[in-house]
């Protein structure tokens, strides 16, 4: 590997996070000396159950639920897939799913695949600030609705959906409710005990834990049909020998997230606001994508008029700045972000949008260095571009 962390300014924490050294230290013994299988009858293996239980307790404390409601999975995608699959087999007469147009691909692509197999899917729209209208949800629920699945926080814009209210609506109509909270957990306070949420997905690598570990919360009174069938691990709800080191790491990451929650919502937010306000003041023709109040404290998604984000990302990459663009490359062509398109923006605006996402590991000094480089890069591209700076119509 040639590009070392010391050479970069990492502003892509919604993509993945740096691993907290305290998480690595906690994991280390379980990658080396304590390699037993927790299902073993002998003490060398079975003692690992305690480590798993501690992790379960720490995660339950972070999201305000009972440890018995935590199921370890391999990632957020698995948790999301498991819920959709489970809900459709719970009641064969309920084969309709409601979700939104701006979900992560782990829901969107799965929903599209289910639709091809004959499952009806209702895609709720959002407005140009990325917000959901709960009246649309009320109208969409039908007697045959199996599940409502809505993300807590959007990964691209950070915009928050009113999950507690949406879950109340689903419960009143007797419909199961799932939230993809992969981006929300650890960034905003969550207390599931006060909600009507049946299922919640989270992912370790958004929480300063390594990739390859996730959680599915299943409310203890909610029926859940296993997605992975085999051994009796996770109380028979998710087969497969437990990934002990990563489970331990996620437990530690959850504990740290709880301890740093205030910092995230004050200091990280200040860094994000400083970054965004400086950028808006320094450069004309920049607009924030998404509601500026109702969003995660760490996310800034901006439309930079007259600039292609792909070109900007290349220039920033050369200077060691990591951030992500409003379009994705699929089979050789650039597709504008479905989230920004879903908010009613043009493909041109989406292609000129960039997401910067921060974490507790960012410093004021690196934000200021990044700002200087970003502002220069935008000005350079605008000088090169035949396009004039213009406010691109939605
Ligand atoms: N849901 C959201 C909102 C995400 O942002 C992501 C990852 O970016 C996922 C699901 C998928 O999580 P994982 O990468 O753990 O599969």
What pLDDT shows up at residue 242? 97
Question: Measured between alpha carbons, how far is 260 from 23 in angstroms, rounded to an integer?
Answer: 14
Give the residue, out of 101, 203, 249, with the most ligand 1 atoms within 8 A of its beta carbon, to mutate for a pocket test: 203
Query: Would you call 20 helix, strand, or coil by DSSP?
Result: coil
Q: Residue 32 phi/psi, 5° resolution?
A: -120, -85
Given a cut of 80, is residue 5 above it in pLDDT? no
Given a cut of 90, is residue 7 above it in pLDDT? no
Q: What strands, in cross-sheet order, belong to the sheet with 299-304?
A: 286-288, 299-304, 353-357, 324-325
CA of 291 to the centre of ligand 1 (A): 21
Other Cβ atoms within 10 Å of 9 Cβ, number: 21
- pTM (predicted TM-score): 0.96
- pLDDT per position as a tens digit, 370-384: 999 999 999 999 998
**Pocket of ligand 1, beta carbon within 6 A:** 75-77, 104, 106, 151, 155, 180, 182-183, 203, 205, 214
Given a cut of 90, is residue 392 above it in pLDDT? no
Given a cut of 70, is residue 333 above it in pLDDT? no
Query: Would you call 343 helix, strand, or coil by DSSP?
Result: coil
Where is average pLDDT lowest: 42-46, 280-284, 329-333, 377-381? 329-333
Question: Measured between alpha carbons, how far is 136 from 126 in angstroms, rounded to an integer?
Answer: 10
Give the residue, out of 155, 163, 186, 357, with the most ligand 1 atoms within 8 A of its beta carbon, to mutate for a pocket test: 155
Question: Measured between alpha carbons, how far is 112 from 23 in angstroms, rounded to an integer?
Answer: 36
Q: Using CA positions, which residue lies closest to atom 5 of ligand 1?
A: 155
Where is average pLDDT lowest: 99-103, 139-143, 153-157, 225-229? 225-229
Question: Measured between alpha carbons, how far is 128 from 150 in angstroms, rounded to an integer?
Answer: 17
- pLDDT per position as a tens digit, 149-208: 999 999 999 999 999 999 999 999 999 999 999 999 999 999 999 899 999 999 999 999
Handedness of CA 309, 313, 319, 321 (dihedral sign): positive
Given a cut of 90, is residue 386 above it in pLDDT? no
Task: Give residue 330's pLDDT band: very low, low, confident or very high (50, 70, 90).
Answer: low
Q: Which atom of ligand 1 is nearest to the CA of 16?
A: 8
Q: What is the mean pLDDT of residues 333-362?
A: 95
Question: Measured between alpha carbons, how far is 225 from 203 in angstroms, rounded to an integer?
Answer: 20
For residue 151, the cross-strand partners are: 180
Q: Longest C-alpha distance within the chain, in Å?
A: 72
Give the residue, out of 150, 156, 183, 207, with the most ligand 1 atoms within 8 A of its beta carbon, to mutate for a pocket test: 183
Mean of the per-residue pLDDT values of the chain: 95
Given a cut of 50, is residue 389 above it in pLDDT? no
Going by C-alpha positions, the residue among 241, 264, 274, 323 that lies closest to residue 52 is 241
Alpha carbon separation from 77 to 39, 213, 291, 369 (Å, rounded): 26, 10, 26, 35
Given a cut of 90, is residue 220 above it in pLDDT? yes
List own/partner pairs for 104-108 with CB under 8 A and 24 or more apart. Answer: 104/76, 104/80, 104/151, 104/155, 104/180, 104/182, 106/76, 106/77, 106/80, 106/81, 106/180, 107/80, 107/149, 107/151, 107/180, 108/338
For residue 153, the cross-strand partners are: 160
In percent, the amount of the chain with pLDDT more than 90 equals 92
Instruction: Please indicate whether residue 327 or residue 267 has the higher confidence score (pLDDT).
Output: 267
Given a cut of 50, is residue 119 above it in pLDDT? yes
Alpha carbon separation from 118 to 88, 114, 121, 175, 249 (Å, rounded): 12, 7, 9, 20, 40
Given a cut of 90, is residue 117 above it in pLDDT? yes
Residues in the chain: 394
Q: What is the mean pLDDT of residues 335-350?
A: 96
Going by C-alpha positions, the residue among 182, 231, 174, 179 that lies closest to residue 204 is 182
- pLDDT per position as a tens digit, 120-158: 999 999 999 999 999 999 999 999 999 999 999 999 999
CA of 224 to the centre of ligand 1 (A): 21
Q: Using CA positions, which residue lies closest to atom 12 of ligand 1?
A: 76
Q: What is the mean pLDDT of residues 252-272?
A: 98
Given a cut of 70, is residue 327 above it in pLDDT? no
Instruction: Please indicate whether residue 327 or residue 180 has the higher confidence score (pLDDT).
Output: 180
Given a cut of 90, is residue 26 above it in pLDDT? yes
Beta-carbon contacts of 320 under 8 Å, excluding residues fewer than 6 positions away, are 3, 7, 8, 9
What pLDDT shows up at residue 1? 57
Residues annotated as part of the active site: 329
| CB-CB contact of 237 with 218 (8 Å) | yes
């Amino acid at each position: 590997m040639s590009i070392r962390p010391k050479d970069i300014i990492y502003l892509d924490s919604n993509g993945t996070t740096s691993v907290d050294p305290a998480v690595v230290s906690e994991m280390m013994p379980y990658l080396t000396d304590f390699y037993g299988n927790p299902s073993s009858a002998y003490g060398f293996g079975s003692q690992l159950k305690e480590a798993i239980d501690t992790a379960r307790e720490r995660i339950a404390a972070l999201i305000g639920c009972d440890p018995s409601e935590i199921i370890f999975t391999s990632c957020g995608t698995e948790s999301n897939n498991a819920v959709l699959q489970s809900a459709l087999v719970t009641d064969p007469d309920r084969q309709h799913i409601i979700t939104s147009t701006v979900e992560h691909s782990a829901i969107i692509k799965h929903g599209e695949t289910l639709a091809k197999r004959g499952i009806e899917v209702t895609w709720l729209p959002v407005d140009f600030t990325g917000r959901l209208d709960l009246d649309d949800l009320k109208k969409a629920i039908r007697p045959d609705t199996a599940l409502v699945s809505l993300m807590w926080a959007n990964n691209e814009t950070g915009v928050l959906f009113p999950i507690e209210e949406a879950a109340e609506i689903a419960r009143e109509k007797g419909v199961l409710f799932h939230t993809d909270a992969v981006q929300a957990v650890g960034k905003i306070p969550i207390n599931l005990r006060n909600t009507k949420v049946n299922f919640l997905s989270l992912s370790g690598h958004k929480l300063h834990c390594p990739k390859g570990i996730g959680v599915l919360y299943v409310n203890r009174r909610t029926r859940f049909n296993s997605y992975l069938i085999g051994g009796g691990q996770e109380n028979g709800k998710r087969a497969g020998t437990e990934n002990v080191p990563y489970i331990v790491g996620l437990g530690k990451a959850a504990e740290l997230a709880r301890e740093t929650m205030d910092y995230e919502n004050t200091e990280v937010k200040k860094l994000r606001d400083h970054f965004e306000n400086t950028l808006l003041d320094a450069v004309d023709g920049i607009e924030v994508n998404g509601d500026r109040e109702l969003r995660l404290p760490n996310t800034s998604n901006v439309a930079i008029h007259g600039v292609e984000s792909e070109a900007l990302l290349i220039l920033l990459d050369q200077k060691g700045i990591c951030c992500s663009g409003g379009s994705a490359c699929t089979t050789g062509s650039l597709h504008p972000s479905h989230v920004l398109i879903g908010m009613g923006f043009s493909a041109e605006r989406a292609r000129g949008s960039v997401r910067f996402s921060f974490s507790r590991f960012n410093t004021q000094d690196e934000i200021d260095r990044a700002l200087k480089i970003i502002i220069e890069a935008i000005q350079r591209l605008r000088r090169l571009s035949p396009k004039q700076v213009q406010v691109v119509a939605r």
